[in-house]
Chains A and B, each alone.
Chain A
Amino acid sequence: DAKTTQPTSMDCAEGRAANLPCNHSTISGNEYVYWYRQIHSQGPQYIIHGLKNNETNEMASLIITEDRKSSTLILPHATLRDTAVYYCIVRPLGNAGKSTFGDGTTLTVKP
């Protein structure tokens, strides 16, 4: 699996958009970008994934650069409950096996 690089921590004001970057410069053509988050003391939770097109669901939006070497997870209106560690992972869609979780980004949403 390709390695990812994320900032250690970020702050965001409540109600504002939170933009979490991820670098995956060694991503392969068949690898998807997945995002999970882990709220304190809970198990990680799937948020969204994408291959090369921008994706949106009820939780977030995912913007992937044209060269696929980086992506940004966007929480459009962050709330205090979005405070969590956010993990960016890359792996092939058909490979339900190994997902390597890095250190992630600790997002703190402040009032």
Chain B
Amino acid sequence: GAVVSQHPSWVICKSGTSVKIECRSLDFQATTMFWYRQFPKQSLMLMATSNEGSKATYEQGVEKDKFLINHASLTLSTLTVTSAHPEDSSFYICSAADDGREKLFFGSGTQLSVL
């Protein structure tokens, strides 16, 4: 199946700093990518839909100024957690749809720990 690469796998940062997470589709172009957040032993919650060349669409309750999304190319979307605080600590996962948009492939996730 298609490969979605997510980097970094884990990051520890100090409170108040910003963290950037990258999501790349390695062998296909993705006009749309999705960012999810997962708390321990819970399901995935969609944060935002990232569209290449346009502004991201955020789900209700997700602060767009807090979670900056940039989808500058057909193979790369980035999520920047700005001024991170301990409550932002979570597992973040991206996904991308293949050309037919039927299949959604997921990255390996990023564990963010804010001290």
A and B interact: no
Instruction: Show the binding face of A for B, using Cβ within 8 Å.
Output: none
